[in-house]
């Protein structure tokens, strides 16, 4: 099965506030995206491809409410807290933190954990405390993964190496997987590989050979977990990624990177068509 994920970043922020949402108001955006896209995805077999949208919290309820009964779209959360509520235990004293149980209760089916932006945030907090410990970041992420799975959510777990780590990528990725997935049911997890060193304007993305060796290595370490390319599934690389047997899909963020940058539903559908060989 193929997996096409979208990480919607901050599409709760319109352009006049510095965001890239220019197609609907923040109050209507989640419903707009789902309504536009879900019918077009009905042409794809649920047994062949899974579509999951990871949305900012502000959009979750509107997006879930807009789902048709037979929609083959899944809605996911961008991260969950490392602790959670429990019967006859903590009833929810987690101000500012969204728990996995709360995401499951409103209708989410999945969660993205360990994205390079989340890893950077956690590492930044530690630096303020005078600590530099990548393994501590992975230990915290491991608690999040366990909380998500315990609540009944599937997990897209992101790993990746920075520029200064590229020569040592096997050890870096291996440690992220070893610690982040320690004592985790890997049947509930897919892995997104993010070449952090290649993300951003003007940077050269990895080629087919590089992505293939990374995906093969991840599968070896995880007993065959699904692996998707997390460096940006785009129209220009869709056919190449689809041709790699070891890669099971991709993660989309933006669909347009120049001019009026942002996410446009019609462009998303073109990427899907190209990846699935329909274009």
273 to 6, 74, 266: CA distances (angstroms): 15, 18, 11
CATH number, position 223: 3.20.20.70
* Active-site residue flag, 3: no
- pTM more than 0.95: yes
3-state secondary structure of 208: helix
| Tens digit of each residue's pLDDT (9 = 90 or more) over 166-193 | 999 999 999 999 999 999 999 999 999 9
What are φ and ψ of residue 76, in 5° steps? Answer: -130, 165
* Active-site residue flag, 88: no
The one catalytic residue among 115, 118, 144, 161? 115
H/E stretch holding 191: strand 189-193
- Residue 123 above 90 pLDDT? yes
Between CA 15 and CA 137 the distance in angstroms is 32
The one catalytic residue among 31, 50, 144, 194? 194
Q: How many domains does the chain have?
A: 1
Confidence of residue 201 (pLDDT cuts 50, 70, 90): confident
Full residue range of the structural domain in which residue 205 is found: 2-275
Confidence of residue 279 (pLDDT cuts 50, 70, 90): low
């Amino acid at each position: 099965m193929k997996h096409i994920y979208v990480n919607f970043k901050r599409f709760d922020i319109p352009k006049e506030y510095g965001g890239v949402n220019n197609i609907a108001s923040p109050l209507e955006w989640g419903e707009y995206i789902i309504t536009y896209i879900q019918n077009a995805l009905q042409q794809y077999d649920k047994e062949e491809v899974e579509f999951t949208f990871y949305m900012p919290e502000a959009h979750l309820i509107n997006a879930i409410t807009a789902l048709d009964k037979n929609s083959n779209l899944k809605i996911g959360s961008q991260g969950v807290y490392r602790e959670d509520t429990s019967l006859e235990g903590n009833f929810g004293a987690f101000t500012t933190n969204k728990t996995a149980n709360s995401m499951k209760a409103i209708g989410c089916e999945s969660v993205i954990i360990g994205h390079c932006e989340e890893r950077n945030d956690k590492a930044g907090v530690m630096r303020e405390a005078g600590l530099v410990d990548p393994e501590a970041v992975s230990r915290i992420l491991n608690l999040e993964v366990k909380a998500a799975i315990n609540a009944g959510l599937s997990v897209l777990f992101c790993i990746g190496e920075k520029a200064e780590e590229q020569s040592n990528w096997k050890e870096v990725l291996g440690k992220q997987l070893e610690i982040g997935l320690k004592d985790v049911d890997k049947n509930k997890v897919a892995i997104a590989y993010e070449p952090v060193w290649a993300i951003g304007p003007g940077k050269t993305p990895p080629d087919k050979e590089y992505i293939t060796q990374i995906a093969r290595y991840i599968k070896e370490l995880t007993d065959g977990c699904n692996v998707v390319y997390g460096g940006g599934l785009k129209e220009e690389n869709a056919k190449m990624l689809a041709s790699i047997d070891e890669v099971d899909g991709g993660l989309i963020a933006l669909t347009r990177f120049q001019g009026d940058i942002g996410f446009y539903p019609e462009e998303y559908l073109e990427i899907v068509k190209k990846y699935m060989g329909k274009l």
